[in-house]
Amino acid sequence: MSSRAIVGELQKRDYNTFKGLNCTTIDGWIDRSGSKPRWSDTALERARLGNDRSNPNAGQKGVLVSNLALHKVNKGSNITQANYPLVVNAIKDQLKSLRLGNAPLTVVTVRGIFIATIIHMEPEILQKQHQDGSTFRASESFVRKWLHGTMAWSRRKATQAAQKQPENWEDLCERSVFRKAYAIKEEDIPPELFVNSDQTQGLFAPGDKMTWTDTGAKQVPLFGGDEKRAFTALVSVSSNGKLLPVQAIYTGKSDRSCPSRNAPHYHDLMKTGCLLEASGTTTYWSNQETMRSFVNKILAPYFDKEKIALHLPPSQKALWSIDVWSVHRSNEFRNWMKKMHPTIILDFIPGGCTGVAQPCDVGIQRPWKLSIKRSYHEDIVSEIVDQLKDKARTKDEPIRLDN
C-alpha cells in the first residue's frame, strides 16, 4: 500500500484525527532499505510507547493534546486519552465557566489560563526538556489548535474594509523620498536630527468583539465586548536608531485620568522623560494641545541636546516626519510650528501609505504592541494563579477575569 493510500484509509476511518496527516510524514515512518517496505524501528517504538508520559522523546506539541489510542477491546473501539487529564479537565472547566458567563475569550486570555493552571497543578510540564532541547511554552498556535480540537470551539469576527492603498503609491513614496533627500542635502541634516513619529492605540486588554465558543453556535452573547479602554502612544525614533521618550495620552481632563504616581515603576518611567498626559477631551486621541506638549517637552529638547553634542549652532535645521493626519497638517498646527519651532521642518508621509512608508509603523509599533500583549498575558497568569491559590475559594467556584 502506498503512503497516499495509507493516508486516505486513515482519514476514512477517523478524519478529524488524521486530517493533517500527509504522505511525506508516512514516508518518514517507512523503512525501504530491505527487499520489502516495513515500518521503521523508530516508528514501531513510538507506537509502542504511545501516550506514555515517561517517553523521553515525546514532543512538546503533544503535552496536553488528546490522543486517540486504538485498543483491542470492545471490538476495536476507539478510546480518547489525554496527557495530564486533571490539568486538561481543569482548563476545560475554567474556559466553560467563563464562556457561560459570556466573558470574552481571546487567545491571550486562554493562554494565560493554560499557564496559570499548569503552574498551579503540574509545574513540571513547563520544566521538562524534550529531546530537541525545547520546553513546553503553550504557544498561541498550540492554543488555537487545542481550542479547535479539544474544545471543538471556533471564533468569529466581523470584517471591515481596510484602508485602501493608492494605486500610485510608488510614485507618491518616491516623491516623498526626494523631498526628504532635498531637505537633508540642502540643510546638512545629520541622522541624529531626522526623527520619525507615529501614534498608535494601546489596549489595556488586547482583543476585540471576537471570542471562542462552540463551533456552529447561533447566539454568542458577550459581556464587555464593547469596552475599549485604551490610550494613545506617540512613539518616535531618530534615523540613527535612538528611541525618544514616549508620550501616552489618556481620556479625561485631569491627571486623575493618568496612571497613579503610586503605580509600580512609575518613577522609573518618569526618569526616562516619558509623558503621561490627559487629553482634556472625551477621547484618548492626540489633539492640538497634546501635540504641542510633545514638541515642547520631548521633540525640541531632543533636537537641542543633539545639536550641542554634535557642536552644531541652534539655527541648525532638523527634519520631523509624521503622518498626514488632520491635526498634523492643520493650518493651526503648522503655523504654530513655524512660529515656535522654525528650525524643525515638517515632512508628511503620503496618505494611505503608512504600511509601506511609515518607519515607526513598520518597525517600531509591532514590538511595542507585542510588549503590551506580553504584559497583559503576565497579568492574566498572575491574577489566575492568585485565585487558584486562594484558600477561601471553593473548588467549584469559577475563576473570574477583571476586564
Q: State phi, psi for 295 to the nearest 5 degrees.
A: -65, -45
Compute and round to an integer the Cα radius of gyration of the chain. 28
At 376 the pLDDT is 83
At 55 the pLDDT is 42
At 74 the pLDDT is 39
With CA atoms as reference, report the closest residue to 246 among 264, 259, 256. Answer: 259
Q: How many residues does the chain have?
A: 403
pTM of whole model > 0.85?
no
User: Which residue pairs from 268-276 have beta carbons closer than 8 angstroms and sit at least 24 positions apart in sequence?
Assistant: 272/245, 273/245, 273/298, 274/245, 274/246, 274/247, 274/248, 275/245, 275/246, 275/247, 275/248, 276/248, 276/250
Give every CB contact of residue 131 below 8 A, 6+ residues apart in sequence.
56, 57, 59
At 94 the pLDDT is 87
At 258 the pLDDT is 93
Output the nine-digit C-alpha cell for 57: 522523546
Name the 3-class secondary structure at 306: helix
pLDDT along the chain (403 residues), means of 10: 84 79 83 87 75 44 50 40 78 85 80 90 84 78 85 65 76 95 96 96 72 72 62 95 95 92 93 95 93 97 97 97 93 96 96 89 84 85 87 77 66
Output the nine-digit C-alpha cell for 106: 481571546
At 75 the pLDDT is 40
Do the Cβ atoms of 198 and 234 come closer than 8 Å? Answer: yes
Helices within 276-358 (DSSP H only): 288-294, 300-309, 326-329, 331-340, 354-357
Do the Cβ atoms of 122 and 87 come closer than 8 Å? Answer: yes
At 275 the pLDDT is 96
At 261 the pLDDT is 93
At 400 the pLDDT is 78
Name the 3-class secondary structure at 176: helix
Residue whose C-alpha cell reads 496527516 in the numeric block: 21
- What is the helix (H) or strand (E) element at residue 368, kind and residue range? helix 365-389
pLDDT tens-place string over residues 267-282: 999 999 999 999 999 9
Do the Cβ atoms of 221 and 227 come closer than 8 Å? Answer: no
With CA atoms as reference, report the closest residue to 384 among 102, 93, 136. Answer: 93
Residue 216: count other Cβ atoms within 10 Å of its Cβ.
7
Name the 3-class secondary structure at 390: coil
At 84 the pLDDT is 82
pLDDT tens-place string over residues 389-400: 887 777 777 777
pLDDT tens-place string over residues 285-322: 999 999 999 999 999 999 999 999 999 999 999 999 99
- What is the helix (H) or strand (E) element at residue 38, kind and residue range? strand 38-39
Q: State phi, psi for 293 to the nearest 5 degrees.
A: -65, -40
**Cα 215 to the center of its chain, rounded Å:** 24
Handedness of CA 157, 158, 161, 162 (dihedral sign): negative
Do the Cβ atoms of 113 and 91 come closer than 8 Å? Answer: yes
At 50 the pLDDT is 54
User: With pLDDT > 70 as the criterion, what percentage of the chain qualifies?
Assistant: 84
Instruction: Give the chain's count of helices (H) and strands (E).
Output: 17, 12
At 69 the pLDDT is 35
With CA atoms as reference, report the closest residue to 298 among 233, 236, 343. Answer: 236
Establish how many alpha carbons lie within 13 A of residue 153's alpha carbon, considering only the half-sphere containing its beta carbon: 21
Beta-bridged to residue 346, according to DSSP, are 320
